[in-house]
Amino acid sequence: MTGLLDWVPNAHALIVHLPIGLLVTAFAAELVAVLRRRPEPVATVSTALYAAGWLTLAAAYLTGRAAAPEVYTPGLAVPVVDRHWTWALWCVVYFGGLTAARVGLLERGEPRRRLVHLAFGAAGLAGLVLLAVTAELGGRLVYEYGVGVAAPLVE
């Protein structure tokens, strides 16, 4: 295994937590926008957080795919890896679409009604469910199967 540093097996290990934090914070900002009388400033921040979250999510997906050939993966973990990749790809596609819709509305410059913020909040929550399943599968790979952290036993 060729690591970036002695304690980091690959770039995926460094990047993977950043989109989770950004997308959860973006969702929280959207909830704050629902409660405000003038939601536009907070909604703009939420849109920026979704954009940064999507970019880092795409980077996490790509670095995970790139790391796969160089990390030890026990045979029993292969189906979990496949499911993790599938869910991760759906996350990238879903949050890409959600971010594009948010940026499109932001570019129109029209004040948004509370119902629009509620709809974006519901869409963000659905995306967080996708993200949680993906993260749970990734956690299983690391903590249950030792993917990316354990070396194969060689005699």
Residue that the structure tokens 């995306």 belong to: 127
Q: Determine the pLDDT at residue 27.
A: 97
Tokens of 135: 């993260």
∠ at Cα 92 (122, 143), nearest 5°? 95
User: Contact 84/138 with Cβ under 8 angstroms?
Assistant: yes
pLDDT tens digit sequence for 17-54: 999 999 999 999 999 988 888 888 888 999 999 999 99
| Closest among 128, 48, 53 to 96, alpha carbons compared | 53
Task: Please provide residue 112's backbone torsions phi and psi, each rounded to the nearest 5 degrees.
Answer: -95, 145
Q: What is the pLDDT of residue 1?
A: 46
72: tokens are: 């030890």
- Rounded to a whole number of angstroms, the CA Rg of the chain reads 18
Q: Which pLDDT score, from 0 to 100, does residue 37 have?
A: 83
Q: What does the alpha-carbon distance between residue 75 and residue 81 come to, in Å, rounded to a whole number? A: 10
DSSP state of 77: G
Q: Contact, 72 vs 151, CB < 8 A? A: yes
The residues of the chain scoring below 70 in pLDDT are 1-9, 110-111, 150-155
Structure tokens given for 38: 């003038």
DSSP single-letter state for residue 10: S
